[in-house]
Amino acid sequence: MVALNGRDLLSLADLSSTELQELLQLATQLKSQQLKLRCNKVLGLLFSKASTRTRVSFTVAMYQLGGQVIDLNPNVTQVSRGEPVQDTARVLDRYLDVLAIRTFAQQELETFASYAKIPVINALTDAEHPCQVLADLMTIQECFGSLSGLTLTYVGDGNNVANSLMLGCALAGMNVRIATPKGYEPDHEIVEQARAIANNKTEVLITHDPEIAAKGAAVLYTDVWASMGQEAEADDRFPIFQHYQISDQLLSFADREAIVLHCLPAHRGEEITEAVIEGPQSRVWDQAENRMHAQKALLASILGAE
């Protein structure tokens, strides 16, 4: 079993290619119940952003490992009254075994991790969403048997999901193409980081043409056009992003056996059509389920479950 004993996961770049593959294998074994692990530990969830899948999947995963979960809603803790991050981190470090944080700034997550001795997991920041991409890669591997050499095309806003997809695909030996409108590209530093990981063995392409990006792809992936915290921009973004929709037309450019993924929640009729998300090539619900299995594998590995 992959051993990440006591380590943080702040970014997918914290993993090696081997560790990523071993985590996906462990997640598959846990899902199929080939392997059962126990871990009598306590997970804290400190979420400053709304959450359905991340909150529930982490909670169920920890309960199934035999552990406990404390939901640390910022609105009912001293965080909401301005307690410094470093103070909260050093206190929670004395109570918990592991902490998953869902917040805005990546820097806040990194500061928290620097003051807490317990492992800290990135449950989403504005910069990255590594746990989502673990589940995405698990889902793709279930469908195709292997990840190496496949092409994933992401269409839409170059957001935290796009950033983590680039890193995850590079680690997995996949080609990744990101198609966004001009001015909405993914983080440049993460693009270069992904290219360094890929080391010219696979493609990391940024383009403004979704049809070029989709050509021959095994996976088409999208997310909402305006992420949490960007709701005020939604009306302005709508005309800019209309060409960046996964529809039957765009799907026709992909491989005939291509699958479609969406990290949810979905705005049907915007970034994805009703016909596609409910169609035979959609694997969105398997993808959502796999959040629990991938995170269970991550928790088990970090906490040394047996």
Specify whether 131 is catalytic: no
The whole-chain average pLDDT of the chain stands at 96
SS3 177: strand
The question of whether 132 is a catalytic residue gets the answer: yes
Residue 263 appears among annotated catalytic residues: yes
For 43, the enclosing helix (H) or strand (E) is strand 42-47
Q: Is the pLDDT of residue 233 over 90?
A: no
Mean pLDDT of 184-203: 98
Q: Does residue 81 have a pLDDT over 80?
A: no
Q: Residue 149 in contact with residue 36, Cβ under 8 Å?
A: no
pLDDT tens across 100-115, in order? 999 999 999 999 999 9
Is the CA virtual torsion 142, 138, 260, 207 positive or negative? negative
Annotated catalytic residue, options 129, 177, 237, 262 = 129
How far is 213 from 251, CA to CA, in rounded Å?
A: 11
Q: Where are the domains of the chain?
A: 12-128+291-303, 131-287
Mean pLDDT on 157-178: 98
pLDDT at residue 80 is higher than 70: no
pLDDT at 175: 98
Active site residue 243: no
107 counts as catalytic: no
Listed range (78-87, 151-160, 285-294) with the worst mean pLDDT: 78-87
Q: What is the C-alpha R_g of the chain?
A: 19
- Does 102 qualify as catalytic in the annotation? yes
Average pLDDT over residues 267-292: 98
CA proximity to 128, closest of 92, 89, 154, 167: 167
pLDDT for the residue 32: 97
* pLDDT average, residue stretch 219-245: 89
Contact assessment for residue 8 and residue 121, using Cβ atoms and an 8 Å cutoff: yes
Residue 153 is predicted with a pLDDT of: 99
173: left (phi over 0), alpha (psi -120 to 50) or beta: left
Comparing 23 with 233, the larger pLDDT belongs to 23
State the catalytic residue, choosing from 39, 131, 169, 263: 263
The string of DSSP letters for 47-78 reads: ESS--SHHHHHHHHHHHHTT-EEEE--GGGSG
State the average pLDDT over residues 142-170. Answer: 98
* Two domains, one topology: 12-128+291-303 and 131-287: yes
pLDDT tier, 231 (very low <50, low <70, confident <90, very high otherwise): confident
Fold of domain 131-287 = Rossmann fold (3.40.50)
> What CATH number was assigned to the domain covering residues 12-128+291-303?
3.40.50.1370
pLDDT digits (tens, 9 = 90+) for 37-63: 999 999 999 999 989 999 999 999 999
How far apart, in whole angstroms, are the C-alpha atoms of residue 1 and residue 22? 7
Q: Mean of the pLDDT values across residues 151-166?
A: 98
Task: Say how far apart CA 244 and CA 230 lie, in whole Å.
Answer: 18
Helix, strand, coil abundance in the chain, percent, nearest 5: 45, 15, 40
* Mean pLDDT across 22-33: 98
Please give the average per-residue pLDDT across 155-182, as a whole number: 98
| Angle subtended by helix axes 17-32 and 130-144, to nearest 10 | 70
Q: What's the confidence (pLDDT) of residue 4?
A: 96
